[in-house]
């Protein structure tokens, strides 16, 4: 799982070539990351055993953005529980769909059509599917342990990941929510790049703080995309090695078994 995380990052970096904004076009960067040697901690741990396939007559539906870590949380949980489901990708600028479902633009959204039931909030969704017998054996996902060391590691890579990932989300055009320019611009409008804070980027709706002009946001995304990512990849590889020391085993990141710690960590 740890190797997969870095591989996905390198794939995203290597495929960024297609984002075209007004007065800005991006060319593909070429970067070679150093090889990593990441081994599991020398501890005994029991592999997670996936349960029997759960197939309902009317499949549950999860509405998501492909890049969204909260959406990935739910998709991991559905996979771990072996629940067959339908994934509905929403465009990033699609406001009507989530608003009709839960009253506002948000993701993920979980729907059980046979129950006429809809809910949001990733952890609430996971709690539901792991507490009802119709979704397979309950309690398959252990509670979060509250590990401050992993939270600190996540915080330490936040700016680095935002700088690497966010421009490439919209540059590739490969993710379904960003296939159209309006979706890409909606993301850029609302997601700041370091060192800017959200309030500085988006504004607060007042005349005193209307937020950054869209042309300036596009220019900053273009600059971030044009920057050689190699030093940042090297830094991130070093941080992944630090993470390797925090992971309990190759099967789960915390002692005791597969838990919400794993879902939160690997969803990011």
Domains of the chain plus CATH, in order, are 2-29+147-255 (no CATH), 61-135 (3.40.30.10)
Written as tens digits, the pLDDT of the chain (268 aa) is 444 443 433 333 333 333 344 333 333 333 333 444 444 445 567 788 888 999 999 999 999 999 999 999 999 999 999 999 999 999 999 999 999 999 999 999 999 999 999 999 999 999 999 999 999 999 999 999 999 999 999 999 999 999 999 999 999 888 999 999 999 999 999 999 999 999 999 988 788 888 999 999 999 999 999 999 999 999 999 999 999 999 999 999 999 999 999 999 999 8
DSSP state of 20: E
234 within 8 A of 244, measured Cβ to Cβ? no
Q: Three-state SS for 21?
A: strand
Q: How far is CA 217 from the centre of its chain?
A: 22
Angle between helix axes 214-226 and 181-190 (nearest 10 degrees) is 100
Question: Residue 42 has what pLDDT?
Answer: 52
pTM for this entry: 0.81
Q: What is the length of the chain? A: 268
Site of tokens 């792991």: 130
Radius of gyration of the chain (CA): 20
Which two structure tokens, joined as six digits, stand for 44? 């005994």
DSSP state of 195: T
Question: Residue 162 has what pLDDT?
Answer: 97
**What gap in Å lies between CA 85 and CA 144, rounded to an integer?**
25
Question: Residue 47 has what pLDDT?
Answer: 83
């Amino acid at each position: 799982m740890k190797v997969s995380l870095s591989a996905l990052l390198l794939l995203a970096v290597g495929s960024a070539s297609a984002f075209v904004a007004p007065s800005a076009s991006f060319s593909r960067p070429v970067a070679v990351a150093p090889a990593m040697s990441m081994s599991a901690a020398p501890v005994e741990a029991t592999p997670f055993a996936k349960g029997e396939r759960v197939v309902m007559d009317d499949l549950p539906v999860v509405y998501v953005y492909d890049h969204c870590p909260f959406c990935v949380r739910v998709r991991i949980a559905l996979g771990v529980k072996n629940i067959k489901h339908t994934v509905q990708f929403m465009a990033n600028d699609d406001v009507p769909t989530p608003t009709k479902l839960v009253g506002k633009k948000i993701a993920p959204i979980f729907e059980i059509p046979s129950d006429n039931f809809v809910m949001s909030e990733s952890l609430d969704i996971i709690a539901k599917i792991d507490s009802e017998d119709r979704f397979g054996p309950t309690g398959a996902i252990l509670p979060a342990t509250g590990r401050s060391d992993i939270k600190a590691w996540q915080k330490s890579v936040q700016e680095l990941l935002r700088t690497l990932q966010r421009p490439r989300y919209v540059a590739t055009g490969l993710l379904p929510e960003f296939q159209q320019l309006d979706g890409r611009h909606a993301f850029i409008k609302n997601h700041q790049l370091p060192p800017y804070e959200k309030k500085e980027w988006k504004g607060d709706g007042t005349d005193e703080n209307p937020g950054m002009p869209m042309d300036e946001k596009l220019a900053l995304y273009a600059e971030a995309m044009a920057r050689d990512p190699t030093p940042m990849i090297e830094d991130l590889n070093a941080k992944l090695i630090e993470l390797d020391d925090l992971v309990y085993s190759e099967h789960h990141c915390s002692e005791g078994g597969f838990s919400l710690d794993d879902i939160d960590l690997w969803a990011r």
